Amino acid sequence: MKHYQAPESIDMTDFLNEVSKETPQESVIFIEKSLAIVNIIFNILERKSLKQKDFAFLLGKSEAEISKWLGGTHNLTLRTISKIEAVLGESVIEIPKKTKEEFVIEGSNHSKILKFIPSPRKYEGKENFKEINNPYGDIGYTAYKKAS
Amino acid sequence: MNYARIIEIKGLQLAKVNYYTVWIDGNDNPEFRDFAERMNLNPKNKIEFQELIVFIKQVGNQYGALQRYFHHEAAADALSLPYPYLEHIDIEPENNNFGLRLYCLRFSESIVILFNGDRKTAFKAQDCPHCAKYFKLAQRLSKAINSVIRDGSLIYTDHFLLIDEDCELEF
């Protein structure tokens, strides 16, 4: 009669925490982004019902090379990602479009203002501004945003 | 004949993956701790080792041990080993030359046994003076683990390994 139990354990928590503390931020970012990019690629492949071998064929690469590319630790160059995006017809990396939001914070404590344009009351056409939820929370301000 | 036992790694029992290792009788350290301490102490290996730990933790916490992250040992096919079969994780250095290799046995997306490894300096692990011995050891340990699975001394649930109190790996 078998009696099952969990295996005995060793504690590597402290050691691993020390390693993490010493790990350069760029290494953390590299691995996190590599895994995220690979995940996106696989999601696209799944959506398009493409197997890895089809993907390799489209890229003119061997399955072994693609397996290496998509292992999550390979240093994919921007050129390689561009080729991938071209054959898949979809973005793998999106560059966020930063738009300058003009808003004014009205309130008594101006020290909290990060972006300030003169109060719309000082301009003609206050109707060009609309009140929005205060991005800084309820700290005695009224926030306005230029109406699009 | 050599003997070993399966060991749970505290610190690597994560949200999506539970990692284990193996302790060979008579050795000072279990296999993964031996690998970790050797790599961490060597300045030439340290950065890639740190990235490997980030990788193991990210996979363990966020993605699960998906097949894509583990690479199949061709030799496992040649030996016709049943599943789970020997695989490895590679961490490549910045210049994309050979990097660190860690051998492992992936039972499922939730259970992985981490063995040992080193820096790979040849195209084939078997030809690499650093990795060859760890590759051969991992092969023997994999066969031993498959044997105890077959005889029912080792079972696995969705997330955990369970061993019979008399379970011992013989290799």
DSSP string, A32-95: HHHHHHHHHHHHHHHHTT--HHHHHHHHT--HHHHHHHTTS-S---HHHHHHHHHHHTS-SS--
Q: How far apart are CA B22 and CA B13, in angstroms?
A: 15
> Looking at the complex, does the CB of residue A25 fall below 8 Å from at least one CB of chain B?
no
Do the beta carbons of residue B111 and residue B17 sit within 8 Å?
Answer: yes
Q: Which of A6, A27, A67 sits opposite B54 (nearest CB)?
A: A27
Coil, helix or strand for B165? Answer: coil
- Looking at the partner chain, which of B49, B53, B63 has a beta carbon nearest the beta carbon of A35? B63
**Residue B171 resides in a domain:** no
What is the span of the domain harbouring residue B122?
A: 3-166
Position B121 in a domain: yes
Q: pLDDT tens, A15-24?
A: 999 999 999 9
Integer Cα distance of B13 and A9 in angstroms: 11
Residue A57 touches partner B, C-beta closer than 8 Å: no
| Predicted complex ipTM | 0.91
Distance set, CA A47 to CA A34, A57, A142, B127 (Å): 20, 18, 45, 40
Q: What is the pLDDT of residues A116-130, one digit of tens each?
A: 454 555 544 556 666
Q: Is B85 within the bounds of a domain? A: yes
- Tally the domains of chain B: 1
| Residue B114 domain flag | yes
B12 chain-A contacts, CB cut-off 8 A: 12, 16
For residue B142, the number of C-alpha atoms closer than 13 Å in the C-beta half-sphere is: 29
Question: A96 in helix, strand or coil?
Answer: coil
Q: Is 50 exceeded by the pLDDT of residue A112?
A: no
Q: Are strands B3-13 and B18-24 parallel, antiparallel or unpaired?
A: antiparallel
- Residue found under tokens 């693609």: A66
Q: Confirm or reject contact between A12 and chain B (CB < 8 A).
A: yes
Q: What is the pTM of this model?
A: 0.82
Q: Over range A73-101, report the average pLDDT.
A: 86
Give the chain B residue nearest A70 (alpha carbons). Answer: B68
Q: Please check whether residue A71 touches B, CB under 8 A.
A: yes
**Which positions ≥6 away from A101 have C-beta within 8 Å?**
A115, A145, A146
In this complex, the residue of B7, B50, B161 whose CB is nearest that of residue A10 is B7
Reduced DSSP (H G I as helix, E B as strand, rest coil) percent helix, strand, coil of chain B, to 5:
35, 30, 35
Indicate the pLDDT class of residue A113, thresholds 50, 70 and 90. Answer: very low
Q: What is the pLDDT of residues A1-52, one digit of tens each?
A: 888 999 999 999 999 999 999 999 999 999 999 999 999 999 999 999 999 9
Residue B50 within a domain: yes
Domains and CATH numbers, chain A: 13-88 (1.10.260.40), 103-146 (no CATH)
| Radius of gyration, CA atoms only, chain A | 26
| B53 in a structural domain | yes
CA distance B115 to B130: 14
- CA–CA dist B33, B12 (Å, integer): 12
Q: How confident is the model at residue B154 (pLDDT cuts 50, 70, 90)?
A: very high
The per-residue pLDDT for range B53-98, each reduced to its tens digit, is: 999 999 999 999 999 999 887 655 555 556 777 899 999 877 666 8
Name beta bridge partners: B18.
Answer: B13, B111
What integer pLDDT is reported at residue B92 of this predicted model? 82
